[in-house]
């Protein structure tokens, strides 16, 4: 997930309401038990994920891999037996990493040679490149924007190194991420404002290792665009240790490129409602992924779970009253263009959108849900979640459904995000480790089952989930 904003909530969240099940939901125990058994018996979400990551391992927006992912998604929705399978157009940015990302530390004489120490980095997207010969300058270390501003003119002409760690002592890793990621998103902008010529940002992980974690950053109109890279946490420690001893000159070389926007697509398929087909529940993840690995956790998992959740309901012959619509969004990572295009092109239909669910926090074991529904809406969602407590769903807490359903939420559609356990997420996020090998088939499937259970209840109960307040 993109999650450049602050995400802050306690790990466990508000507990489910004291044990009680409204009598009107007790009829859902049996179908939810069937969803659970069928899901765990077949574990199809993992097959879907393997297939996506084999077919389109690299699928950053605009790339040929992203086009492959769109084709794959259409076929996967058709194979799952969904109807009205279609591509809905959106225009996306197309940034390429290139083949060079080098940070070389100069020796005692200030020059860089073949023997110079190299530290592991990766360009942030959409960083501008350096000149072919690279940028060579002194490195200045800071820990936040305030410290940088306090340097006044002394950052001028330098490479600014943002080295504030994610706070590992927080139990909620997303909270720790939210408190550190401003460096990644805004580091290049702030470096440029201070007269710096490039930004190096400590990777967003609590783990100490050699893998740079990429991610999105932003430029600001009127502020020079300077190159921006992530450095591995070990690399950051190493660079900081060198800086403690003496000034460090470094050469940064990047050959990434920004191309023209490209045509692309959200991929959509439906299980039409049996009685109230015009009322729609959206469920989705994002098809695009950062390009350093397979994007299995971010967000192949959410795509596989969204398809699997609706497939399970259909395969069991369950016929919810309202329509379930899988939307596999394009370009969550660096633009949200798919999410915006969906909300825009369906704007006349949003009054009829009952709920929008997103899975973009990984395929880990279930913990709960997070939702911006009204208090009355939360009550219904919590009653449904109680039915899922045997598989580890423990809360529906107030919060955001996620980035891709955000535009729908702002239009008044209640949104809900699936919240799996968060401990391993930032070990994997946006780095080489994001492969299928990191995903447990059973944990992934239990997520799909949790989503299917919640969707089925909300799509089928007589009372419609209350609308949220628009334009939050």
**Nearest CB to a second copy, comparing residues 19 and 114:** 19
Q: How far is the CB of 233 from a second copy (least distance, A)?
A: 13
Q: Does 427 help bind a second copy (rule: CB under 8 A)? A: yes
* Residue 368 φ then ψ, to 5°: 175, -155
Q: How far is the CB of 34 from a second copy (least distance, A)?
A: 10
Q: How far is the CB of 169 from a second copy (least distance, A)?
A: 4
Cα separation of 123 and 293, whole Å?
A: 14
- The tally of CA atoms less than 13 A away on the side-chain side of residue 113 is 6
For residues 187 and 226, the answer to whether their CB atoms sit within 8 Å is: no
- Binding a second copy (rule: CB under 8 A), the pick from 213, 322, 424, 429 is 424
* Close Cβ partners of 381 (under 8 Å, ≥ 6 residues apart): 369, 371, 373, 396, 416, 454, 458, 465
- Binding a second copy (rule: CB under 8 A), the pick from 11, 119, 142, 148 is 11
Backbone CA torsion sign across 123, 335, 399, 429:
negative
Which of the ranges 48-56, 57-65, 247-255, 442-450 carries the binding residues for a second copy, by CB under 8 A?
442-450
Q: Could you say which DSSP state residue 398 is in?
A: E
Closest of 41, 35, 33 to residue 390, by C-alpha? 33
**Nearest CB to a second copy, comparing residues 136 and 233:** 233
Q: Does 169 help bind a second copy (rule: CB under 8 A)? A: yes
- Binding a second copy (rule: CB under 8 A), the pick from 8, 21, 22, 40 is 40
Q: Does 38 help bind a second copy (rule: CB under 8 A)? A: yes
- Binding a second copy (rule: CB under 8 A), the pick from 107, 442, 469, 472 is 442
Q: How far is the CB of 200 from a second copy (least distance, A)?
A: 24
Q: How far is the CB of 392 from a second copy (least distance, A)?
A: 6
- The tally of CA atoms less than 13 A away on the side-chain side of residue 5 is 8
Residue from 332, 333, 370, 386 carrying the catalytic annotation: 332
Which of the ranges 10-18, 126-134, 153-161, 229-237 carries the binding residues for a second copy, by CB under 8 A?
10-18
Q: Per-residue DSSP letters for 90-140?
A: EEEEEEE--S-EEEEE--TTS---TTSEEE-EEEPBTPPPPPTT-EEEEEE
**Nearest CB to a second copy, comparing residues 358 and 386:** 386
Q: Could you say which DSSP state residue 329 is in?
A: B
**Nearest CB to a second copy, comparing residues 249 and 430:** 430
- Binding a second copy (rule: CB under 8 A), the pick from 135, 151, 170, 243 is 170
- Binding a second copy (rule: CB under 8 A), the pick from 18, 317, 375, 462 is 18
Q: Does 315 help bind a second copy (rule: CB under 8 A)? A: no
- Binding a second copy (rule: CB under 8 A), the pick from 213, 249, 367, 433 is 367
List, in sequence order, every beta strand (DSSP E) within 117-256. Answer: 117-119, 121-123, 135-142, 159-162, 198-202, 228-231, 249-254
Cα separation of 441 and 202, whole Å?
A: 31
Three-state DSSP class for 65?
helix
Three-state DSSP class for 301?
helix
Q: Does 394 help bind a second copy (rule: CB under 8 A)? A: yes
Q: How far is the CB of 382 from a second copy (least distance, A)?
A: 13
Q: Is 370 a catalytic residue?
A: no
Element (H, E) at 264: strand 257-271
- Binding a second copy (rule: CB under 8 A), the pick from 365, 371, 400, 415 is 365
For residues 401 and 284, the answer to whether their CB atoms sit within 8 Å is: no
**Nearest CB to a second copy, comparing residues 73 and 388:** 388
- Binding a second copy (rule: CB under 8 A), the pick from 6, 171, 223, 469 is 171
Q: Are strands 101-105 and 117-119 parallel, antiparallel or unpaired?
A: antiparallel
Cα separation of 26 and 24, whole Å?
A: 6
- Binding a second copy (rule: CB under 8 A), the pick from 423, 432, 435, 464 is 423
Q: How far is the CB of 138 from a second copy (least distance, A)?
A: 32
- Binding a second copy (rule: CB under 8 A), the pick from 191, 446, 455, 457 is 446
Cα separation of 372 and 347, whole Å?
A: 19
Region 110-129 residues binding a second copy, contact defined as CB under 8 A: none
Q: Are strands 198-202 and 228-231 parallel, antiparallel or unpaired?
A: parallel
**Nearest CB to a second copy, comparing residues 33 and 349:** 33
For residues 62 and 264, the answer to whether their CB atoms sit within 8 Å is: yes
Q: Could you say which DSSP state residue 352 is in?
A: G
Q: Does 61 help bind a second copy (rule: CB under 8 A)? A: no
Q: Which two tokens stand for residue 265?
A: 């697509």
Q: How far is the CB of 397 from a second copy (least distance, A)?
A: 12
Q: Which residues bind a second copy (CB under 8 A)?
A: 10-12, 15-16, 18-19, 36-38, 40-41, 43, 168-171, 173, 206-207, 364-365, 367, 389-392, 394, 421, 423-424, 427, 440-443, 446
Residues labelled as active-site residues: 332
């Amino acid at each position: 997930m993109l999650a450049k904003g602050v995400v802050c909530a306690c790990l466990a969240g508000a507990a489910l309401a004291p044990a009680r099940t409204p009598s009107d939901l007790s009829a859902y125990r049996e179908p939810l038990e069937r969803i659970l058994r069928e899901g765990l018996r077949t574990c199809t979400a993992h097959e879907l994920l393997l297939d996506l990551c084999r077919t389109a391992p690299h699928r950053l927006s605009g790339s040929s891999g992203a086009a492959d992912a769109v084709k794959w998604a259409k076929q996967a929705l058709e194979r799952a037996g969904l109807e009205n399978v279609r591509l809905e157009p959106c225009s996306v940015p197309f940034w390429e990493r290139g083949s060079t990302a080098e940070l070389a530390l100069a020796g005692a004489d200030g020059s860089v040679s073949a023997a110079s120490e190299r530290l592991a980095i990766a360009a942030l997207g959409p960083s501008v490149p350096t000149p072919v010969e690279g940028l060579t300058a002194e490195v200045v270390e800071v820990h936040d924007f305030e410290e940088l501003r306090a340097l006044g003119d002394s950052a001028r002409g330098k490479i600014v190194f943002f080295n504030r760690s994610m706070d590992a002592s927080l139990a909620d890793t997303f909270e720790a991420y939210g408190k550190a990621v401003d460096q990644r998103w805004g580091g290049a902008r702030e470096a440029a404002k201070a007269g710096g010529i490039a930004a190096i940002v400590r990777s967003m992980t609590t783990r100490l290792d050699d893998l740079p974690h990429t991610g999105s950053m932003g430029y600001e109109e009127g502020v020079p665009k300077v190159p921006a890279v992530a450095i591995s946490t070990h690399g950051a420690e190493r660079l900081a240790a060198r800086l403690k001893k003496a000034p460090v000159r470094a050469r940064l070389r990047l050959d990434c490129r920004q191309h023209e926007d490209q045509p692309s697509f959200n991929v959509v398929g439906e299980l039409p409602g049996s009685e109230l087909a015009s009322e729609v529940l959206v469920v989705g993840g994002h098809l695009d992924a950062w390009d350093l690995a397979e994007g299995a956790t971010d967000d192949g998992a959410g795509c596989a779970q969204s398809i699997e959740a609706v497939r399970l309901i259909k395969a069991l012959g369950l016929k919810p009253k309202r329509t379930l619509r899988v939307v596999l969004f394009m370009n969550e990572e660096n633009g949200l263009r798919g999410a915006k295009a969906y909300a825009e092109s369906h704007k006349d239909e949003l009054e009829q959108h009952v709920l929008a669910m997103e899975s973009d926090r990984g395929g880990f074991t279930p913990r709960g849900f997070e939702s911006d529904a009204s208090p009355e809406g939360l009550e219904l969602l919590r009653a449904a979640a109680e039915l899922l407590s045997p598989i580890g769903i423990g809360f529906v807490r107030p919060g955001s459904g996620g980035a891709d359903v955000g535009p729908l939420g702002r239009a008044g559609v209640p949104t809900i995000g699936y919240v799996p356990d968060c401990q391993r997420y930032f070990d994997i996020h946006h780095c080489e480790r994001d492969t299928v090998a990191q995903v447990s088939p059973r944990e992934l499937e239990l997520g799909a089952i949790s989503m299917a259970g919640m969707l089925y209840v909300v799509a089928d109960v007589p009372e419609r989930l209350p609308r949220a307040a628009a334009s939050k």
